[in-house]
Amino acid sequence: MDSDKIDIVTGGAGFIGKNLVERLAASDRRVLILDDLSRGGQDRVVTLVQDTRVHFRQVDCADADAMAEALTSVGGELGDVWHLAANSDIPAGVADPRIDLHRTFQTTFGVLELMKRAKGHTLRFASSSAIYGSFGDTAIFEDIGPLAPISNYGAMKLASEAQINAAVESYLPRAEVYRFPNVVGAPATHGVIFDFVNKLRATQDRLEVLGDGTQRKAYLHVDDLIAAMLHISTLDGRRLTFNIGPSDEGVTVRFIAETVRDRVSPKAAIAYGEGPRGWVGDVPTFRYSVQRLMDTGWKPSRSSAETIVRAIEEIVGPEPQV
Ligand SMILES: NC(=O)c1ccc[n+]([C@@H]2O[C@H](COP(=O)([O-])OP(=O)(O)OC[C@H]3O[C@@H](n4cnc5c(N)ncnc54)[C@H](O)[C@@H]3O)[C@@H](O)[C@H]2O)c1
């Protein structure tokens, strides 16, 4: 990495973006956050730009001209691009597929257009386990197929990967595709813990859970995720694709509901819904293989269960002093 250049982090005002920007700035990188603030985050930006190496411009990352202007305005030559901007409200994208078309796919298209013009070096893309669709109890490794996403979000992430692949074939020097699992930690902007905590704060005696609680998924702490991304960024290759996740088989929604309930409102009753799917586009069970990544020397520091317990503490905050 060349420290005179400026890295772009799209979606840098979001949950994972904020954590990533802090890590990059701490390692003396100049960073330009591009975010349209469609998911809020003004407060996070105010904190981040206190570091003089960090700049922010509010732009729509589907618009390559606007991003090029933003880059010129902070006076820098483009380094690498960490592309995290996307729609993170999966049910919203099911209700209106144009949300995922725009925020999840067209932002990737815009970023590639910018990199073609500004000759950025590496594109680091936040993809998702949602590109795979449903494989039940079969361990999902990177080359499994056929890929059949069941949400518009997953479909637009897969389309983004395809577009990036074509770019590497012609003008993009290098692409790293990170297929994230469920990522948790603070400052949460969405996700199962965030939802349960907010529901229990609104209605202290009852927690309603979407689905019957048997959904089982792997969870990774955002610190482990960023450590994995930085590790991959040091590996050789022109086109790298990795599942990132814990090495266990995950925890159930029931475990998360009970752990949040015990921490936030211990007397609350938990009301489960019917069937194993939480919502349309929810994959009820999946087993993720992270063997390819572990073979390169990386390993997660926590299990899914330890990650959930820690993230609940971070999201709920300290106990009030009596
Ligand atoms: N959190 C997870 O569990 C998880 C899992 C798999 C993949 N991912 C991916 O990781 C990335 C970051 O996720 P997150 O959890 O931090 O979500 P987040 O919603 O907190 O952050 C996404 C950011 O993108 C911004 N954004 C959306 N559309 C934009 C646009 N058109 N132009 C500019 N900015 C735009 C939003 O304002 C938001 O700040 C996303 O690409 C997401 O799909 C996250």
Regarding whether 227 and 179 lie in a shared domain, the answer is yes
Regarding whether 211 and 172 lie in a shared domain, the answer is no
Cα dihedral: 139, 143, 147, 150 (round 10)? 40
How far does residue 40's CA lie from ligand 1's centre (Å)? 11
Give the model's pLDDT for residue 91.
84
Residue whose C-alpha is closest to residue 286's, from 142, 136, 143: 136
| 140 CB within 6 A, ligand 1 | no
Residue whose C-alpha is closest to residue 161's, from 94, 240, 68: 240
N-terminal to C-terminal alpha carbon distance within the chain: 49
Regarding whether 123 and 197 lie in a shared domain, the answer is no
308 within some domain: yes
CA-nearest residue, atom 19 of ligand 1: 88
50 within some domain: yes
| 225 CB within 6 A, ligand 1 | no
Contacts of 289 (CB under 8 A, 6+ apart): 139, 140, 141, 142, 243
Show the domain range for 263: 185-218+248-287+302-316
CA-nearest residue, atom 26 of ligand 1: 85
Regarding whether 153 and 128 lie in a shared domain, the answer is yes
133 within some domain: yes
Task: Domain count for the chain, please give it.
Answer: 2
Report CA-CA distances (Å) from 235 to 53, 242, 281.
26, 11, 33
Please tell me the pTM assigned to this model: 0.94
Residue whose C-alpha is closest to residue 156's, from 247, 253, 241, 87: 87
Residue 127 Cα: closest atom of ligand 1 = 7
| 85 CB within 6 A, ligand 1 | yes
Residue pLDDT, tens place only, 244-302: 999 998 999 999 999 999 999 999 999 999 877 766 667 777 789 999 999 999 999 99
| 89 CB within 6 A, ligand 1 | no
CA-nearest residue, atom 23 of ligand 1: 11
Regarding whether 112 and 239 lie in a shared domain, the answer is yes
Cβ burial, residue 151 (10 Å; 0-12/13-18/19+):
buried
277 within some domain: yes
Residue pLDDT, tens place only, 219-237: 999 999 999 999 999 999 9
| 128 CB within 6 A, ligand 1 | yes
C-alpha span between 322 and 198 (Å, rounded): 23
C-alpha span between 19 and 23 (Å, rounded): 6
Regarding whether 257 and 169 lie in a shared domain, the answer is no
Q: Looking at residue 191, which CATH number applies to its domain?
A: 3.90.25.10
Residue whose C-alpha is closest to residue 155's, from 86, 257, 229, 216: 86
321 within some domain: no
273 within some domain: yes
pLDDT tens per residue across all 322 residues of the chain: 455 799 999 999 999 999 999 999 999 999 999 999 999 999 999 999 999 999 999 999 999 999 999 999 999 899 999 999 999 998 899 899 999 999 999 999 999 999 999 988 999 999 999 999 989 889 999 999 999 999 999 999 999 999 999 999 999 999 999 999 999 999 988 899 999 999 999 999 999 999 899 988 899 999 999 999 999 999 999 999 999 999 998 999 999 999 999 999 999 999 999 877 766 667 777 789 999 999 999 999 999 999 999 999 999 987 755 5
